[in-house]
């Protein structure tokens, strides 16, 4: 059955094109071959493309010899059994963005030659046991960006040729034992950006060829050394952005061929001297952005060449002497800087001599010890005991999966939170019920819970202590409820909470008082509420906050000082609010801010130095759709060293100064502005000509230049004074600027 919405305007065109390009014989055959409506068929190369056509099923009449089939951007929802059995020659199948919720057992049966299967960006929550059966030649499987919460052991059993498996950006909390069994050729396994807090000891068994494992951006609180050591051949292990607080020899990391280990952006407060004693080939160890004030000389990794320590509060007192001596002796390159004592603050550790590192008694000023004590981070909250326990039975209205430790009572019309979940539940899904209010201790016996889903539950109130006992909770989803405030004690009992989702509620202020109970809060989502302003004190409780999302509120003002407590903030989203100016003074005190979104505010103009307080750290700046008519020459001064994307599209800019300081830009969007291409715009024209980027700036006036690219409109600028005399210089500048993106690319490749 054909459901394609359009007639076939395209195939004849393509046929004519092919007719012109190919010798007569094959072209004739192309014209006579079948091709489904809504698709483009290049039969000579075995390619069929049917993307973005709202197809609800796989079209029939696809030529049998097709090798590459592109169905991305349709509305298939489900892949039924044997959906492609008439296409035995397929090697590449693209099913991205198809709204897939289900892949039936045997869906890909008959695709014994398939090499690449792309299922990314769909809505898959689970993979049935036999969903991937029959794909014996598959080399690469993309499942990134789905909603997978659980993987069943055996799910990948049939994929004996698979080299790369990408499961990044899903919702995995737990990896059961033997889950990857059968993947005997897999070299790279991507599990980043999930919610993994536990790996079963045998979770990585059966991966003899694994060389690279990406586990960054998960919720590991302890190094799962035993599990990792199953992947004996690992050369590269990425564990950054996990809340690890300590690594020592007792974590039993035994990886004889490991060369590169990333443990950056964690919460490490200490490291045992023999933590990597069984990784003899370790060459690069990345410990950036942790909480280490010192580090013992590391025993074992005798080939260590690079130790990255930037972003740790290193204390350069006498305690650091052994570290420094070891770095020199072992010829390890290191990039840490001293946080204290005051006289050495900001010094690079490896430029110091051991004699610079002194303690009280060695003749230094009084008070350094107190300084040190004050600088030390708080002790981590204690870890819950790791007991093995049998699961309780499951509440009647719910489903509890013992293997994955997920319990779900989604959309059951519940009026109160049920009791009696297994006490080892890690993910509890209570979406779309009707709770109105959550009473104290609403979740008893769930000390292992990591992720709690309460979206769309008509919740108006969290009573004090509602979360009592949730000592392992990291994720709390309260989006799409009717909360307008949270009392001081509303969030007590969940001290590890890192991610709090409060979008689309009724907040008129940031619930600052309640945040005091959350010393580890990393990310706060308050989009699409009714917050009207940010005042001093609103964020006093959010000291650990790195990402703050306030898009789509009614903010008219951000007071100076309002953001001072959130010293480590990296992302600030203030887009779609009512700001009439850049809150420059409030940005002071945000030394780590890298992404600032101000799009969709009625800004009108940018003043000189508007971003100077964050000039050194800012990497991405969004000022699109902000009614900007005017940008003063010094508006971006101070910005530059790091800025790599700048969004100025869809404003009212008729003119714009050259943006000379911004040599590291990789993306600049100037589209949708009514530029007036006269001599006033000459500096911008010159700057764009020297830039090896597509900026999308187009002339709106004068009529003779309308529609031309500012960069290319030489005729509009040819008569300007200074045009000819500086042409030679421009050629030079062009060559220089053109080199920059190449340099950037290399740098990124290395990291
Ligand atoms: C697909 O559906 C959307 C929304 O119904 C519509 O806007 C779009 O034009 C459709 N695309 C095609 C190719 O039919
Ligand atoms: C879970 O419950 C079982 C029995 O009901 C018990 O033996 C076990 O200790 C409990 N575990 C935890 C962590 O409370
Ligand atoms: C600004 O531009 C970004 C990137 O193109 C886009 O994602 C965002 O929606 C835009 N914001 C507004 C308010 O238009």
What are the residue boundaries of the structural domains of the chain, listed by start? 36-210, 244-353, 721-751
Spatial separation of the C-alpha atoms in residues 439 and 461, rounded to whole Å: 9
Tokens of 287: 């410990």
Instruction: Give the distance, in angstroms, between the CA of residue 497 and the centroid of all CA atoms in the same chain.
Output: 18
Q: Spell out, as residue ranges, where the chain has pLDDT lower than 50.
A: 1-32, 376-392, 727-751
CA-closest residue to ligand 3 atom 2: 624
Atom number in ligand 2 closest to CA 384:
13
Return the half-sphere exposure (C-beta side, CA atoms, 13 A cut-off) of residue 92: 11
Full 3-state SS string of 374-389 = HHCCCCCCCCCCCCCC
Sign of the Cα pseudo-torsion (555, 560, 562, 568, in order): positive
Q: How far away, in angstroms, is 622 Cα from ligand 3 center?
A: 7
Atom number in ligand 3 closest to CA 626:
13
CA-closest residue to ligand 3 atom 1: 624
User: How much is the pLDDT for 472?
Assistant: 86
User: How much is the pLDDT for 369?
Assistant: 53
Q: Is 54 in the pocket of ligand 1 (CB under 6 A)?
A: yes
| Test site for ligand 1: of 49, 54, 73, most ligand atoms within 8 A of the Cβ | 54
Spatial separation of the C-alpha atoms in residues 671 and 696, rounded to whole Å: 5
Spatial separation of the C-alpha atoms in residues 40 and 52, rounded to whole Å: 12
Cis before residue 138, ω within 30 degrees of 0?
no
- Could you say which ligand is closest to the alpha carbon of residue 576? 3
Spatial separation of the C-alpha atoms in residues 167 and 696, rounded to whole Å: 35
Instruction: Give the distance, in angstroms, between the CA of residue 276 and the centroid of all CA atoms in the same chain.
Output: 28
User: How much is the pLDDT for 199?
Assistant: 82
Q: What is the mean pLDDT of the chain?
A: 85
244-353 has CATH 3.30.70.1290 classification: no
Spatial separation of the C-alpha atoms in residues 489 and 494, rounded to whole Å: 11
Q: How far away, in angstroms, is 476 Cα from ligand 2 center?
A: 23
Q: How far away, in angstroms, is 74 Cα from ligand 1 center?
A: 10
pTM of this structure: 0.56
Atom number in ligand 1 closest to CA 6:
14
User: How much is the pLDDT for 55?
Assistant: 95
For the beta carbon of residue 22, count every other beta carbon within 10 angstroms.
14
Distances in Å between the Cα of 706 and the Cα atoms of 408, 677, 678, 709, 712 are 59, 9, 12, 9, 12
Q: How far away, in angstroms, is 154 Cα from ligand 3 center?
A: 42
Closest of 404, 474, 425, 500 to residue 221, by C-alpha: 474
Closest of 473, 520, 511 to residue 490, by C-alpha: 511
Please provide the CATH number assigned to the domain covering 36-210.
3.80.10.10
Cβ 149 vs Cβ 173: under 8 Å = yes
User: How much is the pLDDT for 380?
Assistant: 33
Spatial separation of the C-alpha atoms in residues 490 and 500, rounded to whole Å: 13
| Test site for ligand 3: of 602, 622, 672, most ligand atoms within 8 A of the Cβ | 622
- Could you say which ligand is closest to the alpha carbon of residue 449? 2
Closest of 515, 568, 572 to residue 538, by C-alpha: 515
Q: Is 53 in the pocket of ligand 1 (CB under 6 A)?
A: yes
Spatial separation of the C-alpha atoms in residues 675 and 685, rounded to whole Å: 11
């Amino acid at each position: 059955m054909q459901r394609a919405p359009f007639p076939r305007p395209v195939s004849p065109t393509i046929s004519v094109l092919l007719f012109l390009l190919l010798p007569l014989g094959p072209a004739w055959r192309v014209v006579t071959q079948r091709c489904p409506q809504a698709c483009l068929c290049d039969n000579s190369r075995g390619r069929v493309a049917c993307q973005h056509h709202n197809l609800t099923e796989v079209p029939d009449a696809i030529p049998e010899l097709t090798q590459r089939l592109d169905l991305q951007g349709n509305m298939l929802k489900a892949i039924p059994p044997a959906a492609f059995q008439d296409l035995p020659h397929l090697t590449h199948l693209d099913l991205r963005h198809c709204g897939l919720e289900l892949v039936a057992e045997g869906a890909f049966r008959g695709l014994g030659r398939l090499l690449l299967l792309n299922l990314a960006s769909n809505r898959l929550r689970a993979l049935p046991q036999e969903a991937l059966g029959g794909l014996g030649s598959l080399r690469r499987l993309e499942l990134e960006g789905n909603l997978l919460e659980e993987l069943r052991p055996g799910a990948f059993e049939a994929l004996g040729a698979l080299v790369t498996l990408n499961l990044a950006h899903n919702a995995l909390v737990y990896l059961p034992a033997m889950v990857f069994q059968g993947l005997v050729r897999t070299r790279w396994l991507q599990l980043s950006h999930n919610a993994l807090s536990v790996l079963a000891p045998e979770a990585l068994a059966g991966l003899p060829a694994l060389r690279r494992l990406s586990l960054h951006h998960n919720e590991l609180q302890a190094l799962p050394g035993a599990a990792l050591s199953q992947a004996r051949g690992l050369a590269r292990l990425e564990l950054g952005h996990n809340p690890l607080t300590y690594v020592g020899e007792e974590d039993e990391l035994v990886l004889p061929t490991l060369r590169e280990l990333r443990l950056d952006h964690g919460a490490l407060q200490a490291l045992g001297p023999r933590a990597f004693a069984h990784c003899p080939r370790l060459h690069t160890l990345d410990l950036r952005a942790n909480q280490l004030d010192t580090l013992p000389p590391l025993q074992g990794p005798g080939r260590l060449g690079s130790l990255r320590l930037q972003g740790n509060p290193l204390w350069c007192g006498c305690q650091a002497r052994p570290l420094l001596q070891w770095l020199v002796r072992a010829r390890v390159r290191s990039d840490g800087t001293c946080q204290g004592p005051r006289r050495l603050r900001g010094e690079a550790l490896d430029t110091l001599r051991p004699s610079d590192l002194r303690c009280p008694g060695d003749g230094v000023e009084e008070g350094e010890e107190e300084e040190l004590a004050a600088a030390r981070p708080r002790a981590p909250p204690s870890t819950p005991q790791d007991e093995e326990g049998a699961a309780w039975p499951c509440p009647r209205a719910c489903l509890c999966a013992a293997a994955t430790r997920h319990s779900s009572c989604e959309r059951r019309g519940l009026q109160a939170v049920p009791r009696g979940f297994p006490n080892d539940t890690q993910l509890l899904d209570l979406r779309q019920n009707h709770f109105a209010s959550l009473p104290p201790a609403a979740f008893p016996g769930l000390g292992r819970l990591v992720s709690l889903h309460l979206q769309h539950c008509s919740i108006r109130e969290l009573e004090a202590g509602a979360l009592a006992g949730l000592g392992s909770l990291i994720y709390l989803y309260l989006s799409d409820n009717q909360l307008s405030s949270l009392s001081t004690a509303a969030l007590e009992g969940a001290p590890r909470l890192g991610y709090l989702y409060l979008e689309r509620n009724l907040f008129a202020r940031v619930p600052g008082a309640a945040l005091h109970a959350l010393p580890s809060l990393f990310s706060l989502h308050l989009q699409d509420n009714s917050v009207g302003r940010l005042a001093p004190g609103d964020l006093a409780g959010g000291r650990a906050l790195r990402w703050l999302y306030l898009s789509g509120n009614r903010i008219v003002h951000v007071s100076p000082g309002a953001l001072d407590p959130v010293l480590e903030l990296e992302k600030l989203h203030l887009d779609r609010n009512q700001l009439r100016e850049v809150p420059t003074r409030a940005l002071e005190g945000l030394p780590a801010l890298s992404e600032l979104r101000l799009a969709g505010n009625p800004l009108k103009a940018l003043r000189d130095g508007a971003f100077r307080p964050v000039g050194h750290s800012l990497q991405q700046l969004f000022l699109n759709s902000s009614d900007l008519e005017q940008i003063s020459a010094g508006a971006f001064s101070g910005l530059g060293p790091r800025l790599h994307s700048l969004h100025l599209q869809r404003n009212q800019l008729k003119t714009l100064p050259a943006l000379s300081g911004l040599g590291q830009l990789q993306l600049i969007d100037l589209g949708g502005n009514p530029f007036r291409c006269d001599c006033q715009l000459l500096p911008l024209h010159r700057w764009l000509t020297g830039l090896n980027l597509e900026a999308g700036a187009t002339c709106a006036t004068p009529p003779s230049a309308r529609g031309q690219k500012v960069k290319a409109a030489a005729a509009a600028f040819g008569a300007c004074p200074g045009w000819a005399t500086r042409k030679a210089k421009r050629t030079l500048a062009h060559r220089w600027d053109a080199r920059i993106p190449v340099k950037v690319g290399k740098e990124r490749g290395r990291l």
